[in-house]
């Protein structure tokens, strides 16, 4: 690295401050994004049914899409209202919460109705074996009710990130998920007077978890004296069609780009389903372990958005660029060791989710090869977060559209039907195509950032 490049790193936020923002987000990502589906898989494994395990794994791929959808509006709020916070225009910043809250309520209710009516169709469309459809559909319907209650806490968390508060999201999600970890086994297997409901009990615990998180988040924002400067009136009464229109104008490209990536997992599910129950179950194990190793990048993608947004709000594009480089360095130093550890101890980690010992042989063969390809993904996560923070959301959408539609979907389809190879090889090639596509995304975003026009966008 040249002296000039090192000199530029002194601009922006310090490594210490970035780390202090990143660490709570790391914990938030662990307990909110990665731990719940892994815990679902662990509890489901105790039911000792490959059909049930596979069905819940397929459902989790679809639910991951809903999580990404719930993130879109809060991400847009960070891009728009983070600049107001950077300029210390606090009342204008606070208006974003009311508009985002009511819009997420509508989105959450919409997804619930769609899944309530269409769960069976979703599983049939994915090519899931018949014995898995009824199991997965009932689980998915109850989970979608829980996700209805999930959308509004995401709005509260988005506001906290907008004002550079990453600690409360950490505490909120940690408490919510911790509560879920306690009650899910009770509803699944029974105890303390509660009748065990199997996988449906796990889903019901999600409903209770997010209802509790809503109550805590509302109380924190309404009674926190530090937030009074943002709200001359209670955020429940804040709503403007013009602001919502602007929010949606920034959000729809984010919805598309996040949906493309999350739907890629649904697409992978449909390609892997014909390979049989062992491949379906192994896909869920490999996916969960990869996401666990990838947690530092998820946290980095969150903080880089508000770090860039706030710096550009201060008219400091050099500081924004320096922050991106620092976040990339931090991510590399945390993700790569995680992936190496996953490769070395793959059999040990797989054992947590394979109580029947029918999946380990397959999963342990494919996991190390897939882990090596994950390196392509963390760069695009950070760069896409930076571009969103600058309001350049259409570039992220276009980059992911090209990488998924033009490259990933056709290539993965071809590889999934590659002749005269074992399911192990076919699985590895098909799944690996996804991470090659993320490498294409990262290259597109990097080329965009060489042109400094992204720093001057108005949001």
pLDDT of 6 reads: 45
Model confidence at 158, pLDDT cuts 50, 70, 90, reads: confident
Does 389 score more than 60 pLDDT?
A: yes
pLDDT of 165 reads: 80
Residue 255 near residue 70, CB atoms below 8 Å = no
pLDDT of 75 reads: 73
Model confidence at 411, pLDDT cuts 50, 70, 90, reads: very high
Structure confidence by residue, pLDDT tens digits, 245-275: 777 777 777 777 777 777 788 888 888 888 8
Q: For residue 381, give both structure tokens.
A: 């996560």
Does 237 score more than 70 pLDDT?
A: no
Structure confidence by residue, pLDDT tens digits, 173-221: 888 888 888 888 888 887 777 777 777 788 888 888 888 888 888 888 8
Model confidence at 410, pLDDT cuts 50, 70, 90, reads: very high
The pTM score is 0.68
């Amino acid at each position: 690295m040249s002296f000039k490049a090192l000199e530029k790193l002194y601009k922006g936020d310090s490594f210490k401050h970035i780390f202090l923002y990143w660490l709570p987000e790391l914990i938030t990502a662990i307990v909110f994004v990665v731990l719940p589906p892994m815990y679902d898989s662990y509890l489901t494994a105790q039911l000792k049914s490959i059909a049930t395990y596979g069905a819940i794994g397929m459902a989790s791929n679809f639910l991951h899409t809903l999580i990404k959808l719930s993130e879109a509006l809060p991400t847009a709020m960070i891009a728009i209202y983070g600049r107001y916070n950077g300029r210390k225009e606090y009342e204008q910043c606070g208006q974003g919460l009311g508009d985002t809250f009511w819009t997420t309520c509508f989105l959450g209710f919409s997804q619930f109705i769609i899944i309530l009516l269409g769960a069976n169709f979703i599983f049939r469309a994915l090519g899931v074996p018949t014995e898995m459809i009824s199991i997965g559909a009932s689980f998915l319907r109850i989970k979608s009710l829980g996700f209805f209650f999930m959308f509004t806490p995401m709005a509260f968390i988005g506001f906290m990130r907008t004002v550079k508060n990453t600690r409360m999201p950490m505490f909120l999600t940690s408490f919510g998920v911790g509560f879920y970890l306690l009650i899910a086994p009770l509803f699944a297997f029974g105890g303390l007077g509660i009748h065990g409901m199997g996988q449906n009990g796990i889903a019901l615990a999600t409903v209770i978890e997010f209802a509790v998180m809503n109550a805590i988040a509302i109380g924190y924002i309404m009674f926190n004296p530090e937030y009074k400067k943002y709200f001359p009136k209670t955020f429940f009464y804040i709503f403007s069609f013009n602001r919502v229109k602007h929010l949606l104008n920034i959000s729809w490209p984010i919805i598309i780009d996040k949906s493309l990536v999350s739907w890629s997992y649904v697409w992978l599910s449909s390609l892997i389903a014909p390979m049989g129950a062992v491949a379906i179950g192994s896909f869920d194990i490999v996916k969960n372990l990869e996401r666990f190793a990838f947690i530092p990048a998820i946290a980095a993608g969150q903080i880089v958005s508000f770090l860039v947004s706030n710096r550009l709000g201060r008219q400091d594009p050099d500081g924004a660029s320096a922050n991106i480089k620092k976040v990339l360095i931090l991510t590399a130093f945390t993700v790569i060791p995680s992936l190496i550890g996953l490769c070395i101890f793959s059999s040990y980690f797989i054992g947590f989710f394979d109580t029947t010992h029918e999946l380990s042989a397959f999963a342990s063969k494919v996991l190390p090869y897939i882990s090596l390809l994950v390196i392509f993904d963390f760069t695009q996560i950070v760069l896409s977060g930076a571009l969103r923070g600058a309001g350049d959301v259409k570039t992220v959408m276009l980059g992911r559209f090209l990488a998924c539609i033009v490259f990933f979907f056709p290539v993965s389809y071809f590889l999934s039907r590659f002749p005269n190879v074992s399911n192990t090889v076919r699985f590895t090639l098909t799944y690996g195509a996804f991470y090659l596509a993320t490498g294409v995304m990262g290259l597109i975003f990097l080329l965009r950032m060489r042109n400094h026009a992204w720093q001057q966008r108005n949001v």
